[in-house]
Amino acid sequence: MKKSVSIMLAALMLGGAPLAQAADLPEWLTGEWQQERGDRWTEELWSLPRGGVMIGMGRSGRGESLQSWEVMRIVRAADGTLTLHAAPEGGKETIFPVL
């Protein structure tokens, strides 16, 4: 499954997407997202929601060169809140609340 969209737009949609319940994970995000502009490209892959977690990876580059990558998780806490955990290039994880 391939979807063409701005990754920044997807991140904004995640923050503002209406969820049926606070505990719902954004299943619509599942699959492969790609954007290409000239020789620049960005890709994200997201797993199906399972066990209160979705796992994602992203990478971007130019031509055949990788410029950056990250691993991500969307997590549903016991209280039903959602958070996005992002670790660019395997570094320290940063946690963002999903509104």
The pairing of strands 82-88 and 94-97 is: antiparallel
Sheet with 65-76: strands ordered across: 2-4, 31-37, 40-46, 53-62, 65-76, 82-88, 94-97
Between CA 10 and CA 85 the distance in angstroms is 15
Alpha helices by DSSP H, the chain: 7-16
pLDDT in tens, 17-29: 544 444 589 999 9
Q: Where do the domains of the chain lie?
A: 2-97
What is the model's pLDDT at position 78? 84
What's the rounded mean pLDDT across residues 42-65? 96
pTM summary value: 0.76
Kindly indicate the confidence band of residue 46, based on its pLDDT and cuts at 50, 70 and 90. Answer: very high
What is the model's pLDDT at position 77? 87
Amino acid identity of residue 17, one-letter, is A
